[in-house]
Amino acid sequence: MRRLFELVRRQTRGGTTITSPGDVAVLLRNRGRPDIENLWLVSVNGAHEVCNVHHIGMGLADSVLVHPREIFAPAICDRAVGIFLAHNHPSGNLQPSLTDHSVTQRVRTSGEIVGIELIDHVIFSDDAYFSFAEHNQLSIGDGNELSAGDNRRRPVGA
């Protein structure tokens, strides 16, 4: 609840600033249909102020197809410096799939080419989230990208 009040406070000052993966989860958790996967892009400037929120795709109960071009086209139009990628898991199981890891790596690598940083990939449910960045699973070759790591559920708004 405290995080929600902080997010609302920041929004009333002229813009939303993303300071943690929990902010992304709070921003997106009530958007889209909760019974199927929805993929979202939050583009930000250098101060992590939200430029725009884009609905990239809607999938099935357990997957959504995506290509980096669909992710970076709106980010480039927004003149974003960085992006947060986020999607819901309707099952409530926040454990990233192998496909989640693969998409994260493709988007991160593509972002390096176009000069837009993938800051985090957040998987969220109604009451919790998983952050690739918090679990050191954004970088290729760090030995963690496919490991289970510390997969504790992070409460939304905590």
Residue-wise pLDDT for 82-97, tens only, equals 999 999 988 889 999 9
Task: Give pLDDT, residue 92.
Answer: 87
| pLDDT tens profile 139-157 | 754 443 333 334 445 555 5
| CATH class, range 2-155 | alpha beta
Q: pLDDT category, 58, cuts 50, 70, 90?
A: confident
| pLDDT tens profile 16-47 | 999 999 999 999 988 877 778 899 999 999 99
Is the predicted pLDDT of residue 9 greater than 60, yes or no? no
Task: Give pLDDT, residue 4.
Answer: 53
Q: Label each residue of the chain as H, E or C.
A: CHHHHHHHHHHHCCCCECCCHHHHHHHHCCCCCCCCCEEEEEEECCCCEEEEEEEEEECCCCCCCCCHHHHHHHHHHCCCCEEEEEEECCCCCCCCCHHHHHHHHHHHHHHHHHCCEEEEEEEECCCEEEECCCCCCCCCCCCCCCCCCCCCCEECCC
* Average pLDDT rounded to a whole number, residues 57-86: 86
